[in-house]
Chain A
Amino acid sequence: MTLRIGVDTGGTFTDLCAFDEATGQVHVRKVSSTPDDPGRAIVLGIKELLEQMGGRSIGEVSYLAHGTTVGTNALLTGRGVRTGLITTKGFRDLLELGRGRRPHLYDLQADKPEPLVPRDLRLEVTERVRHDGRIETPLDHEEVRSAVRELKAKKVESIAVCLLYSYLRPDHERQIGEIIAEEFPEAYVSLSSDVMPEFREYERLSTVVTNAYIGPVVANYLSRLRQRLAENGLTCTPHVTQSNGGIIPFPAAESMPVRLVLSGPSTGVVGAAAITSEAGSPNIITFDMGGTSSDVSLVQDGEPKVTAGMELDGRPIRSPMLDIHTVGAGGGSIAWIDSGNHLKVGPASAGAFPGPACYGNGQDATVTDANVVLQVLNPEYLLDGQLKIDAQASHRAVKAIADPLGLTVPEAAQGIIRVVTANMARAIRVISVQRGYDPRDYVLVPFGGAGPLHASRLAIELGITRIIVPETPGAQSALGLLMTDIRSDFMRTQITRVTAQEAAHSAEDLSKVFAELTDHALAWFEEEGIEPERRSIQRRLEMRYAGQNYELPVDVPEGPITAESITALIEGFQHAHDRMYGYSARDEVAEAVTFRVQAIADVPRAAISRAAAEGRKVEDAVVGLREVYLAEEGDYVSCPVYDRRLLDVGHHIVGPAVIEQMDTTTLLLSSDVCTVDDTRNLVIDIRRTPNE
């Protein structure tokens, strides 16, 4: 009776997935996005999806989760609201000064990001807290009151408040919050001690200002969408994905929009983690390749790796998020030749318009055009015939690159693939090798429209020997929404020595902070109405040697913190340090810096059905033969083309081959052997490295 729906809004398409708990079946729908009003495509898509499922009613939907880029887009396009800032006297320019570095070491024409709050809306108030939490100068309430009135008169919609040391002593920020509530109750207010109570004033400031700037946009969007869905008959509370991969109800998300910046990409990772864990491969590297960029991340033991922040468009954002690294390498990335006669690809992209040359509007050779020339992609049409391909246009575009390099057209096309593969490999090294993980120990999981096309070569570049292509790579994020938990993060910075000599003392200090955070988490469970049996709590400590300023995360096991667990924590930290930097300094004192508690509410997730073989023959899935250029063979090679819909559990394909489905194409090189597993994933094993 219950239906669960996931909706992921992307730049070009809105993907929808439904899971029918009664039949265990997953249904997928893709509609064009409506960027001017993203909710329109969502409502339309839901109707079409329900129609496709045989005319089900929206009232049957028990769960709806959404991945959105509304906040991120508002930030990237400068369409947030007019925002004011109240800060400590002497520091209003910090937002512009940042960390003092110029945006590019050598490019004298590069500019800093435009501050989200202009200088005349950044007001200072007299107050000062010190590094030990002591109040040196009390807050001047009258000054605050007149600052709020000034901002109101200057017609801001939103106010960010960021004072020095508020992560230690939030009193003054809270008092300012109260004064704003009295003087200007309709303003959207963000206090840095609520949004991101962490040390380093600029990063905290940038985060709270971003939150304030996009806050009203996100809040409006979510509340309107909620209303619209209700008007169309939805009875359950819709949820939205946060950057940490967990979902929260719409109303809760409205006050912390900055935690949604990776809403879209993170759900794909969660979905991939769930699917491959089920398939027995909990250690994966995800590779989500779309039109303009690729997102990569690492999943260890079924848990995506997390990080505490990122930089978006030159602005730091601190928030719990999945460790997703983005590189400007997508199907639309443009190939070009630099002044030293080297072939480069991206980061410029032909985007949705004009798009690759083969779509008929553009002139530039893109990665997609290279794939058309090589005939890896269907040279006549894509998307089940919805998109006509002009192979001649691709040929012309690639020839313009080939001629100056003295290469043949297929060689140049292959060169484009190699360069873009190297760019993607570099991104994967950032989230694996640079974090102390060897990519050869992981399975590569490609998705997005272009992931499965490039996965095999990328795997070879990284020494990876297994690839798993999920059943619906093009709608992975929407599917991920059906597989994620409700979760919320609570954190506090409190620098605390952790020593074996004073283990009992350390245990007491740590227990105290964790107890407070756990209380917050329990209160949140209550607010959300999560029953006790669905609750779980994860604790993590960020530690460093006293003297360092960068921390490494160490998991804190369940149960009371004792002298013994202190020894284990120190050991865990030494081990993490050794893994990351190749040494540990046992003569040095370790300290805990940030305490993190994650509250997780288990939701019934879409279970992946284990399909039984239907007894079809693999030969029957071959829908044609195509001459595909394989650099590894140095020529065009005749390859069978399979229709993925006709593939069945247990089918076995030896490369080279091409597997087509509605929104993606998988290339098998001659070194690849592919099996369809019992959850309908393509499991590709690379037997040997082909000669290149």
Chain B
Amino acid sequence: MNIELKNIHKHFGKVHANKNINLAIPSGTIQGILGENGAGKSTLMKILSGFIQADAGGEIILDGKPVIIHSPADAIHHGVGMLHQDPLDFPPMRVLDNFLLGRSGGLFPNRTTVARDFKLLAEQFDFSLDPDSYVDSLTVGERQQLEIIRLLWLGARILILDEPTTGISASQKTKLFATLKKLAEQGMTIIFVSHKLEDVEHLCHQAAVLRAGELVGEIKTPYVTSKLVEMMFGKEITLGERQPAQAGEVVLSFTNISLEDVRLKIKNVDLQVRAGEVIGLAGMEGSGQGMFIRACAGLTRPVGGRVQLNGQDLTGKSYHTYKHAGVNFLPAARLEEGLVPGLNLTDHFVLAEEPKGVFIDRAAGQKLAEDRIQSFNIRGTPLSTVESLSGGNQQRAELALLQSPLSLVLLEHPTRGLDIESVIYIWGKLKERCRQGASIIFISSDLEEILQYSDRLLVFFSGKVSQPIDAAATSVEELGQLIGGKGWANMGDEHA
């Protein structure tokens, strides 16, 4: 099926997530969509698959006919099926029941016919799926296979895959690619959204690169990797004056740490963080850095290895033990994890302090809040509820909650979505902590920020962790390649 997207715009409030996107994908093509986090890939795909609607004026044309897609169900009706990064299936149900869901019409499904269809489709692509097993017993790769044949069965002629190679095994990936190529030969249109350069280079006939909501370029095979990286991350990088750390004693020490969740395995990481040092964690979202920083906070228990903080063994201890030992973690989801909506700033500052007695001294709390509001330059009053603050001010409020003294500050996307003034301010405050002897580990998808503020950095790719890289000795280009999964072969020797 031919796809044409014309003048697609999408605003979320002030954010312009898609800016005038025009893209044509002929039938039988495997189209790669590349871009870093927040580039607008998902927004564009959600528009095509009916999850959200584009701003007025945009057009989606399928096989020459303009269509308006109201919902995902509508999309599948038009032949557009989307495979999400986290499969949208129903884990407590059987494979066949999942397969059936989404099929309209008929009060009582004819299970025998459906089972036959299922078997035929699975055989066609050489998938070994047991229709009677439960979905939660399946691997991510198998759930993906289930989703693919389900969408095909529902009549999809366009298949959108969002980061499909994350969390699946090498053999499943080979099978997936073979399946996609076969489908393309049959005239299906495949849209492959990824940040993995290698996958796109292997699989896609052509690729489109998005950056900051705009379509910055289209390339056909063969690709020049450096060109892709340049398009994805931009070129003009202006680094200010870096402030190297006066490294002190070892604060945090990871020995042979292994971590695991359903998607990723991180194996045998060794890391020593010194007082005053800033470590940046780079990588596409979901590459393992989130799990890693939570392990530093004691929120994720390592499946192997030892954690030491200031010489004290904290392996397997709870988050609250880590907190008492001087580790603070500021999560990215401010209103979901960091702050308590409904409570005001005074409440938050009082909560973060050690209780003195049973009753709260209101006057002292008020005073504390006024002091913090002033010293952290928060635009709000002691009685402002946190949800009434702007994002930047919520971030400042989170920073103002950090206890004192601290050994280790862990931050997820400390400046995401903030204006430049807030960014500089927040890093000023953080560097102050470093001078007082705290170490900082932070996640950011902004490579400039990582290069600017970290002393050393780790790159994550599909659960692989690089050796610590000296931030002064690397470049956006090199990082971009590593983040996209390139140049890992010689990593081990270079930095060992």
* B is bound to A: no
